[in-house]
Amino acid sequence: MEHKHIYDAQGKQLCCTQTEKVYNQAGAQRLIRGAPAQNQAHNHSDDDDGHDHSVAEGNTLQLFLPAIISFVLLSAAIAMDNWVPQAWFKGWIRVCWYVVAYIPVGFPVIKDALKSISKGEVFSEFLLMSIATLGAFAIKEFPEGVAVMLFYAVGEVFQTLAVSRAKSNIKTLLDQRPDEVTVVEANSSRVIKAEAATIGDVIQLKPGEKLGLDGELISDTASFNTAALTGESKPDTKTKGEVVLAGMINMNTVSLVKVTTAYQDSKLSKILELVQNATSQKAPTELFIRKFAKIYTPIVVLLAIAICLLPYFFVGQYVFSDWLYRALVFLVISCPCALVISIPLGYFGGIGAASRNGILFKGSNFLDAMAAIQNVVMDKTGTMTEGVFKVQEVRLEPDFDEATILRLVNKIESHSSHPVATAIREYVGEVDESVNLTDVEEIPGHGLKGSVDGKVFLVGNFKLLDKFNISYTIDPNTIVYTTIAIALDSRFVGFITIADSIKEDSAQTIQLLHKLGVKATMLSGDKGTVVAYVAKELGIDKAYGDLLPEDKVNKVKEIKSIGESVAFVGDGVNDAPVVALSDVGIAMGGLGSDATIETADVVIQDDKPSKIPMAINIGKQTKKVVYQNIRLAFVVKGVVLILGAGGLATMWEAVFADVGVSLIAILNAIRIQKMKF
């Protein structure tokens, strides 16, 4: 009997750990693999800082084991040197003891220094630490040489654990899709691999099971836990015909779902890809630090050589060992660990905190960009409103039969994915396929055009009627609701009014944006009266209606022309151009089109507009922590570097300036994951 994974209501897997094959299929093996313990601290192949900070489950003790061995041997040696002298602990025995204490923590670093040199990266932090500690041995400062490398190794382990913790949110997200599904055929069912399921298959979903593919609910009703996709813990009840997504957990009764999307094209697959690729998009601060470290490290090595040798020409009583010691202290202090580790970790923490709240950043560069946003420009339908329309009124000219016209409208709207089409279908009923409607085409920003028995049939806004020079007897500006104008054979037929409700957190969103000092502008293709009404209700600064897609682009260009940054929030296909133009494009991931989601820089998974100010706040807090770490590292290192060069700082101060500052910066970066936004 084939095994099925079982999950609780919170989405936690109860039975076993997902096999690595699932992660490979998700294209995310690099993010979640565990490296052997001896390779944990240093692996140049993956991370920009020259470290692989992934950690396999249960390997924590193994990570600390080399440091523990070194610490025990060093403590015993220091005790025998100072507190409980032993007659035998002298000469070559004492040297060998310190060498043995050094090897567990020093050998991996020396090995990585040699690897770096073989790849052409001569001046690495590994080389700095190797020179400093081996130099300490050369001048017979054995305890300090071992201690520096020991503290460095402990710092590396803590960095590894910190990064692993930062990645845990993403690893949890990557573990959302089961690798098997139960397909129902006739009166039987069989378990197959999720990737083997095809469009049209019917999946049986038992209580506690996760859906493996996107589909349409066939059962009458079902409740799903969508926390994995949206961060929302409240169950979401779906009814027959509604879309359900991979990663949702069935809460109560056995349900049937018809597969509508291939395994690799599901929303979850796209989310996995977004999250996996997020860390490859570097923030300007990260890029600067990487470039800085490449220039900074060789300069430091040259300065250390100068500190050691130049005093020979200027100092009367030059003692080589004293100046070599100062140079070694200088090298240890100058190690750029605090910067090259804590800064990427800070951004990683920001991405993780955002994903935990249902916000996906496609790169750490967009965290910086969101922090600097001055204007949020938003679409109306599906962004600030529910995007769920209901027909309010049907008003036709006396010469036309209402039932006939509604059947025609329902048929032509079935060619559109706009929420208006759904409202028409819910009001009229199922589409009458016998209606003779041909040559249907969509006119962007206007509506739909078709042919009925050789006569032109138009359904859209009043601009569509103006475009075809069709006169009408009413003033569209007097109608508050969204209006669908209808014309047949160059004659005005009438109109249908449709209302959309404002999302419950839309007003709060605008208030929070204003608190952050961000201006809000609404751009919509909907009629001006509707847009003005919604803007007034929400307190939006500026609002423009009756816009074509190119008009939205021009409005965003106007804002950018005065030198202000813009984030655009949208959900439709026609929003993709303006999303791409803005400094940060934000897509509503639940209702949003795939084109907009792929174009966007940030995806809000649960369609809640209140996540917009949350995303800005996460960006601001991440940037704040990153800059705190930069200032801390530069100030402390600068002070101790000067003291070290002047002979006023020992190796112990150097250890604090290097490892101590690194750990403080790491702990500060971890705070992002603990913050409540």
Pairing assessment for the beta strands 375-378 and 519-523 based on DSSP bridges: parallel
Q: For 338, how many CA atoms within 13 A lie in the half-sphere containing its CB?
A: 30
Return d(Cα 87, Cα 53) in angstroms, integer: 43
Task: Name all contacts of 122-128 with Cβ < 8 Å and 24+ positions apart.
Answer: 122/298, 123/294, 123/297, 123/298, 123/301, 124/50, 124/297, 125/50, 125/297, 125/335, 125/336, 125/337, 125/340, 126/42, 126/50, 127/297, 127/301, 128/297, 128/300, 128/301, 128/331, 128/332, 128/334, 128/335
Contact 241, 216 (CB under 8 A): yes
Residue 503, token pair as written in the block: 């999302």
Q: What type of residue sits at position 284?
A: P
Crossing angle between the packed helical segments 364-371 and 337-356, to the nearest 10 degrees: 80
Return d(Cα 24, Cα 47) in angstroms, integer: 19
Contact 342, 629 (CB under 8 A): yes
For the four alpha carbons of 6, 10, 13 and 14, in that order, the dihedral sign comes to negative
Within 10 A of 177 (CB to CB), how many other CB atoms are there?
Answer: 26
Q: Is 319 exposed, middle or buried (0-12, 13-18, 19+ CB in 10 A)?
A: exposed
Return d(Cα 183, Cα 256) in angstroms, integer: 9
Catalytic residue among 112, 214, 379, 607: 379
Closest CA to 150 of 78, 53, 81, 88: 78
Active site residue 379: yes
Backbone φ and ψ for 569, nearest 5 degrees, come out as -115, 125
Strands (E) located in 207-358:
215-217, 221-225, 236-239, 243-244, 249-250, 255-259
Return d(Cα 98, Cα 166) in angstroms, integer: 36
Backbone φ and ψ for 445, nearest 5 degrees, come out as 80, 0
In sequence order, what are the beta bridge partners of 7?
13
**HEC assignment per residue over 373-441:** CCEEEECCCCCCEEEEEEEEEEEECCCCCHHHHHHHHHHHHCCCCCHHHHHHHHHHCCCCCCCCEEEEE
DSSP string, 476-540: GGG--SEEEEEEETTEEEEEEEEEEEEPTTHHHHHHHHHHTT-EEEEE-SS-HHHHHHHHHHHT-
Contact 485, 461 (CB under 8 A): yes
Q: Is 212 exposed, middle or buried (0-12, 13-18, 19+ CB in 10 A)?
A: buried
Q: What type of residue sits at position 126?
A: F
**Opening angle at CA 282, ends 371 and 162, nearest 5:** 90
DSSP character at residue 677: -
Q: Would you call 470 helix, strand, or coil by DSSP? A: coil
Placement of tokens 């020396």 in the chain: 110
> Any idea which residues carry the catalytic annotation?
379
